[in-house]
Structure 1
Amino acid sequence: MKLCAAIDLGASSGRVAVGSLDSDSPNLGSLVIKEVHRFKIDVHDEVERGLRWNWAKIVEEVKVGLHKAQELGEIISIGIDTWAVDYGLIDSQGELIEDPYCYRDGRTDGLMQSIAETIGAEYIYSRTGTQFIFFNTAYQLYAARETPALKSASTFLMLPDLLNFVFSGVQSNDITNASTTQLLNAHSGDWDWELIEKLELPKSIFPALHKPGFTVGTINGHGSLDGIKVVAVGSHDTASAVAGVPLAPTRDSAYISSGTWSLVGLELDSPVTDETARAFNITNEAGVADRIRFIKNVSGMWLLEESVKYWKEKGITTTPAELARDATLLPRKQIIDTNDPRFAKPGAMPERIAQYCTETNQSVPATPAEFARCIFDSLAVAYAKSLAELIKASGRTVREINIVGGGSSNQLLNQLTADETGIPVIAGPVEATVMGNLIIQMMSAGMIASLEEGRALIANSIERKTFTPSSVKV
């Protein structure tokens, strides 16, 4: 049996899962997945060095997971996906110069506005089609222009490609994550050298690009792991997640990848970089099989995750599942703008939500369940607004919404989304990112013929639940 290993790293946790095809299942067969390792991903807040990822720990945990994967049988390939925008810098000796910054670090504060004014927001968007958000890689690199790290850098690698390099020794960037940097030309599919020059960034550090399905190399220098193929998947976790969504072949489906971030999107054949799309701050990101992910970013379960941390520090222990259950019993009261900048940084989220409610003349939630209800209602409103903008900018018709990822198990939010949009919601798979990662590896190995076949395989492997809009909002 051919086994593939998916390494899926989110901004709060990572896991390694093994996938195989079960040809004995009816119709197309099914995708069988077993998670073998899960770990927390830490960020260190250091006064002098800023917010940094603990890179050595991430690498070590991935190795642990791969060795556990080998206990299940022969692994023919691995595929790595991570969150977007963050990167590592390699010196001429092939060494990582410093721990990668976390995108929530404050070093980019104010840069988005000043660069948009200096170079021109219309100019940047018409070329890259990338949303303007304060932590884009372009601003991170601009902030680092005069640092010893960037001055001594030989190669710039996005985090999944940095891991590919750790295992294979090959330096190359995947286009799906490169398209989140605001440095990729959406029309040519190559680095936007003119924009890079305007930002006064060294052109020499940007390596060649590859697409999902490309064999980067083989693992080398890691003992029993040596010889396993390293296959490029949708290295941006959302790209793999979208690949794992069983979208209707009629092309009238929207998707929401619901995790720490919620990505509301449509799958298009070509980018849309006109003034309407720019005004709505929609991003065009490269997808699997040359598709375009036409996306709006919404600050998703991050709000709840930070709130749970806050309450734990106050001696109140609860879980997202418990909060969702309790929130179901409450009415809708408050709505916040989930993308307000105050909610972007780590910290006392309930205090910030309370402050927002006070400033907007709303009542203030009093219990964790009330805060959770506020968050869920606000996310549903944000989803509906984002989808309306995507539809207007693309001219597409949407008849169903597919919610995938960890947030798809939140039945209250699924129903609220259906009610707010007036469109049926289909929930699942929860493991869309891992499934998408795996089917790309299987396409590369010739086990699956196409993305459509892979999606049909996923649909045949899971049970999904439909939430129908109600006439009365919950």
Structure 2
Amino acid sequence: MTETYIAVDIGASSGRLMKSERQPNGQVTLEEIHRFKNGFHLKDGHDRWEIRQLTNEILLGLEKLKKSGVTNCYVGIDTWAVDYCLLDQAGELIEEPISYRDSRTEQAVKQFSTTYSLDKLYEKTGIQIQPFNTIFQLFVENNETLAAADKLLLIPDYLGYVFTGKAVTEKTNASTMQLLNPHTQTWDEELLAVVGITAEQLAPLTDAGTLLGELQREKFPNFDLPEATFITVATHDTASAVIGTPGEGDDWAYISSGTWSLLGIETPVFNGSKDAFSANYTNEWGAYKTIRFLKNIMGMWLIQEVARQQEYRYSYAELADMAAATPAFQQFIDVNEECFLNPDNMIEALQQYCERTQQKVPKTAGEIARCIYDNLALCYAVELEKTEQLMGENAKIDKLHIVGGGSNNRFLNQLTANVTGVTIEAGPGEATAIGNILVQMITTGVFANVKEARKAIKQSFDLSIHQPEAFDRTIIEKYKKFLKGATN
């Protein structure tokens, strides 16, 4: 009997349930069975996720699956990182979780640094300093709320708990909290004390690829649900996306391109060096005892917000076409500037940045899109070069895999190939859901290991190759000079 696997893949703006099966010819199928919107809303002075609505949408998706004739399946859940739910002693949600884009952490790093050395924090955890990391969210968390919490669960672990009654903390996501010590492979007690929580408030650490439990269908009498076994996959969506990247050998890097662009390598080696700290690189834990050594880059969020601000007058494909017809490299921007994290108006934020840095101000939709894409490609080139330097002497990256939704942007793919000077292999666009599925399949014995599973990606999904074309390399040097001046 062919087993059915469901990836519950939820990002910052939408979520979906994807159905997968392994065919007799070895191919892995992928079919969307339910899609829904996600987002945060202002409540009690904070931007909060509608977590109960997410639970309801997953149930609706599973009910659709049952109506299609599937009575038994496996399920894995992945979401974004760092955000958490606090539960009381009865196991009930104390309040809706606050989004990492909430303004409460604006001064958190500065405040934290007066209590604890940021250098030491990086040395202990290897995680890049980002104001929205869980450690900084907890540092500014309401003390009374935190004291009332019996358990803290990251978003995907909370959803798994709701459906199975089993509480765990999956390691790939837990590492983003900046509270795990890779040297001891467990929670760092000193850091827990700094933010005012105990190890007892955290559920047991669990590896990706662990059986979680059965769906407690009796808890949801209003839904006609299939029998389902939940598997704890690589619950951080980037960790799943990397598993879903069809890399071979050791000369490749990846960009998981979605709301964020995560550029890095898969490695068995932890790099907590001063150079890595200065470059603000992170050592997130990957599935199967790997490290995702990567840099967080403000990615498609920029163009997503521009499209939203224009009330989706233009599709993303139309914006890319308009950008392609617009003169290139008219302005430099640092895409990782905090002013782009959650502005009221992204278009105005971009224009004000250019005014402030005395550059030509983009005005038309094409100019604004071109500004974003040019500078994303430049940022990718600089960080790819930096990744090679941090990998050590004689390290060379010859291929860059771009996966996730952003891999469908052929204009940006080619622009990135030109600017980085390396071959781009784009796709699959559904790498996160695929990685989620592959961990489930490895867990249930369909594949022996990741290497075997990744071969199935190339058999099953369309990928595109983009070779570098002629490019004026002096533009990169000018961009580096601009960034250096912008930070001084």
- With the length of structure 2 as denominator, give the TM-score of the two structures: 0.93
SS in 1 for 2:310: helix
Residue 359 of structure 1, CA deviation: 1.4
Is residue 22–residue 29 contact of structure 2 (8 Å, CA) maintained in 1? yes
Is residue 104–residue 135 contact of structure 1 (8 Å, CA) maintained in 2? yes
1:127 to 124, 128, 133: 124
Aligned to 1:422: 421
Is residue 218–residue 226 contact of structure 1 (8 Å, CA) maintained in 2? no
Letter in 2 for 1:446: G
Aligned to 1:240: 240
Alignment of 1:351-390 (within 5 A): 351-390=348-387
Alignment of 1:268-287 (within 5 A): 268-287=267-286
1:159 to 143, 152, 155: 155
CA distance in 1, matches of 2:264, 2:185: 20
Per-residue CA deviation, residues 200-248 of structure 1 (Å, 9 max, x unaligned), is: 3333211211011101111113355474211011100000000000011
SS in 1 for 2:303: helix
Answering whether residue 196 of structure 2 is matched by residue 205 of structure 1, we say: no
CA distance in 2, matches of 1:130, 1:72: 44
SS in 2 for 1:102: coil
Aligned to 2:187: 191
Residue 174 of structure 1, CA deviation: 0.3
Alignment of 1:277-356 (within 5 A): 277-312=276-311, 317-332=313-328, 333-356=330-353
Aligned to 2:168: 172
Is residue 72–residue 227 contact of structure 2 (8 Å, CA) maintained in 1? no
Residue 117 of structure 1, CA deviation: 3.9
Report the RMSD for the aligned CA atoms in angstroms: 1.4
Is residue 18–residue 32 contact of structure 2 (8 Å, CA) maintained in 1? yes
Residue 145 of structure 1, CA deviation: 4.7
CA distance in 2, matches of 1:453, 1:64: 33
Residue 114 of structure 1, CA deviation: 2.4
Is residue 406–residue 430 contact of structure 1 (8 Å, CA) maintained in 2? yes
CA distance in 2, matches of 1:369, 1:383: 21
Letter in 1 for 2:260: W
Per-residue CA deviation, residues 13-41 of structure 1 (Å, 9 max, x unaligned), is: 000011000123xxxx1110110011110
Residue 346 of structure 1, CA deviation: 4.0
Residue 166 of structure 1, CA deviation: 0.4
CA distance in 2, matches of 1:77, 1:294: 30
SS in 1 for 2:180: coil
Aligned to 2:486: none
Letter in 2 for 1:234: A
Is residue 175–residue 189 contact of structure 1 (8 Å, CA) maintained in 2? no
Aligned to 2:140: 143
Which has the larger displacement, 353-362 or 2-11? 353-362
CA distance in 2, matches of 1:72, 1:33: 17
Residue 472 of structure 1, CA deviation: 2.8
Letter in 2 for 1:51: D
SS in 1 for 2:74: strand
Aligned to 1:255: 254
Residue 110 of structure 1, CA deviation: 0.9
Aligned to 2:35: 38
Aligned to 1:8: 9
Aligned to 2:484: none
CA distance in 1, matches of 2:398, 2:75: 35
Which has the larger displacement, 219-228 or 209-218? 219-228
CA distance in 1, matches of 2:110, 2:469: 41
Letter in 1 for 2:245: V
Letter in 1 for 2:57: E
Aligned to 1:222: 220
Is residue 6–residue 18 contact of structure 1 (8 Å, CA) maintained in 2? yes
% identity of equivalent residues:
40
Aligned to 1:75: 72
CA distance in 2, matches of 1:115, 1:18: 43
Residue 471 of structure 1, CA deviation: 1.3
- With the length of structure 1 as denominator, give the TM-score of the two structures: 0.95
CA distance in 1, matches of 2:124, 2:65: 42
CA distance in 1, matches of 2:114, 2:261: 28
Consecutive unaligned residues in structure 2, runs of 5 or more: 476-488
CA distance in 1, matches of 2:71, 2:7: 14
Answering whether residue 23 of structure 2 is matched by residue 22 of structure 1, we say: yes
CA distance in 2, matches of 1:226, 1:415: 44
Aligned to 1:467: 466
CA distance in 2, matches of 1:225, 1:286: 34
Answering whether residue 99 of structure 2 is matched by residue 102 of structure 1, we say: yes
Letter in 2 for 1:152: A
Aligned to 1:85: 82
SS in 2 for 1:345: coil
Per-residue CA deviation, residues 241-276 of structure 1 (Å, 9 max, x unaligned), is: 00000011x211000000001000100102111111
The total of aligned residue pairs comes to: 464
SS in 2 for 1:285: strand
Letter in 1 for 2:402: I
CA distance in 2, matches of 1:442, 1:143: 40
Which has the larger displacement, 218-227 or 237-246? 218-227
SS in 2 for 1:30: coil
SS in 1 for 2:265: strand
1:75–1:376 distance in 2 versus 1, CA, 3 Å: farther
Letter in 1 for 2:340: F
